[in-house]
Structure 1
Amino acid sequence: MKMRLKIKKLKNAEKGKRVFILGNGPSILKHDLSKLKNEICIGMNASTLLEEKYGFTQKYYTVSDARFLNHPEKRAMATTMLSPDTIRVLRSDLDLNDDSAIVANKNTYYVNPLSRDGFSYNLNNGYHYGCTTTMLALQLAHYLGASEIVILGVDLNYYGETARFYSESNAQLEDSKIGVQIFNIADAANKLAACSIRTFICNQSSFLAPYLRCEDFDGLFCS
């Protein structure tokens, strides 16, 4: 019960604001991410590596993949490398492997996974995982009250020479759930649109391009 009451504190915390979701695809490096310094960012997985290089801090950070707490090289990205001020939102069954010292900072929230397909309008009840952490980030953005959601680096192309923007000494296997991911993200964008929340990408080469509107990243910062 305490966990759910705590999650409620996030409801409409960013009401009416623009939110950027930071994926791990290589296209994210094509953008000047230093422009995110004064923006609200929801990171995921290895996006922590981008903060020092581009001089911004993720206000929120999501993980639903157990490998980012179990993998010796990746664990730090989800724990000690994050700013103490970053609000972590994790899949609830990851709590046993989480860093107790980080959790003690009281900036960590755990969310219960529901079914694979779908969209939860109330994060307090849980979230639909859609085989991608992007779905947790999207449902979090809605729960925060975002009026516009910009998705960066969610390429969903795992078959090229570089599937992610960072190098891995022991690369993960190719993702076999691309169809499930595309279906759920596109469905989420449609549901968000019905709530008058604009959701779009900034990479025309993303496998999401046929389903989501694409806009120029630099153009987002023109007054």
Structure 2
Amino acid sequence: MSAPFPPWMKRLVSAAVPAGLYSRASALHTALVDRDADPRIRESITRLWSLKNAHRGGRCFIIGNGPSLRTMDLTPLQSEFCFGCNRIYLLFDEKAFQTTYYVCVNPLVLEQFADDIRQISCTKFISTSGMNLVGDDPNTIFISTRRGPGFYRYAPYGLWEGATVTYVAM
């Protein structure tokens, strides 16, 4: 059984789109959340929708993983919502700091450091290309990445990597 069309989207689409296009949008949604899809993808899509507006009104920080972070005091960010990228986890013990979320979509990073990534305890956003590398983990949400450029507003439908993991984190 496919996931229901989210109520907010149903209202938006039905108010702004002619009936024929609405049924096509509904069919697209059903196709994207096909009942025969990998259950990990279906679960990830559901979890992504549940995160919509989870931190509305708050602020968040996207933290890279360059060497300059070793000299930075990350303490002020401990009570903030933070997205860490790629190998940020190397600082977790050293700085007594952990991000709220972890993002990795680079196939090479996923392949080379899958064991390390599995050990991260925060919520992880991992490209579907890494599903078989990081395995089943209740803290992992798999995201589909698209080929075409653009800033996609709804992560459950896929995100363009923009040649950098930071783009996906946004």
Same fold (TM over 0.5): yes
Larger helix fraction of residues: 2
Corresponding residue of 1:95? 131
Q: Which runs of 5+ in 2 are unaligned?
A: 1-32, 34-41
State the distance in 1 between where 2:75 and 2:148 align: 34
RMSD across aligned C-alpha pairs, in angstroms? 1.6
Q: 1:45 touches 1:77 (CA, 8 Å); kept in 2? A: no
Distance apart, 1:64 and its partner CA: 0.3
Corresponding residue of 2:145? 113
State the distance in 1 between where 2:94 and 2:74 align: 9
The SS at the match of 1:35 is: helix
Q: Which runs of 5+ in 1 are unaligned?
A: 139-223
The SS at the match of 1:79 is: helix
Larger Rg: 2
After superposition, the Cα gap between the structure-2 partners of 1:116 and 1:131, relative to the gap in structure 1 and judged at 3 Å, is farther
**TM-score, structure 2 normalization:** 0.69
Q: 1:49 touches 1:77 (CA, 8 Å); kept in 2? A: no
State the distance in 1 between where 2:67 and 2:95 align: 15
The SS at the match of 2:88 is: helix
Query: Pick from 79, 82, 85: which aligns with 2:118?
Result: 79
State the distance in 2 between where 1:93 and 1:70 align: 10
**TM-score, structure 1 normalization:** 0.54
State the distance in 2 between where 1:76 and 1:44 align: 16
Kindly provide the CA deviation profile for residues 92-114 of structure 1, in whole angstroms up to 9, marking residues without a partner as x. 121121233xx1xx221111111
Query: Pick from 59, 62, 71: which aligns with 1:18?
Result: 59
Number of aligned positions between the proteins: 129
